[in-house]
Amino acid sequence: MTNQLFPQLNAAVITLLSISTLIAYPVIADTSDSEYTFLVTQDWRSCDHIGKKYQEVYAFETPSFYVNICRKGKSYFYLGEAKSTNVGSIFIPAQLLKEGKMYRADNGNVSYYVAINETEPEATPENKGTLTIERNGNQVLTENSVTQHCLFVESPASLNVRNKPNEQASQIGTIPARSQVTLANLDPQGNPQIKQGLNGSLWVEISNPYQGFILYGNEEKSSLDTCQ
């Protein structure tokens, strides 16, 4: 979206328009005001959480949202989750407005616009993007992606997510190679807080696509690389 179409709002106005009003309340909203048809799920933050046939086109994180554009065949979908609620994720059809650049998903009187600022090869979807939300045609929020928190799995072929920084801890999920992860609990300089494991292993905490710990690598080599 251009600034002409979406002029910047005063930060105070955006703050007053609670994200939970847009995401959490639609489930019980009066249908005379809205036609909410989205599917509420439990913490879907990656397209492969939906099914193996859904391909991740773009994925990024903003200060308030996890954002994914998924593809199945010739159809596109918006997968998003607000960080300020515990409702879960929403998964709705999306329209491709501009090839590789912009997508729109409508949920009643709420519209989500996902604009991609830079394109990258499909193997490593770029996480530089902008999410804009409109209600009744009026912009209520726009946020840019938070790129410095994004890494992708470089090696080995996959990484197991554990509930503690320990290879013997319970496994939460698996992240395939070339998949993006979002780090959690960064220090004020934006660096990960690395935890020491057994046999010299190093671990970092992630918040997306799962919440848990993954093997960062060892003192000689990291398993992760930056998305940038």
End-to-end CA distance of the chain: 22
Are 44 and 88 contacting, i.e. CB atoms less than 8 angstroms apart?
A: yes
Looking at per-residue pLDDT, the higher value among 28 and 110 belongs to 110
The DSSP 8-state label assigned to residue 38 in this structure reads P
pLDDT for the residue numbered 145: 78
Q: At 119, is the secondary structure helix, strand, or coil?
A: coil
Q: Residue ranges of the domains in the chain?
A: 11-145, 148-226
- The Cα–Cα gap between 181 and 226 comes to 10
- Range with the poorest average pLDDT among 77-81, 84-88, 168-172, 224-228: 224-228
- The Cα–Cα gap between 191 and 109 comes to 39
Side-chain half-sphere exposure of 173, counting CA atoms within 13 A = 17
Secondary-structure class of domain 148-226 per CATH: mainly beta
Q: Which tens digit of pLDDT belongs to each residue from 23-72?
A: 333 332 222 233 333 444 455 667 877 788 888 888 887 878 888 899 99
Q: How far is CA 29 from CA 24, 34, 88, 91, in A?
A: 9, 7, 16, 18
Residue 16 scores a pLDDT above 50: no
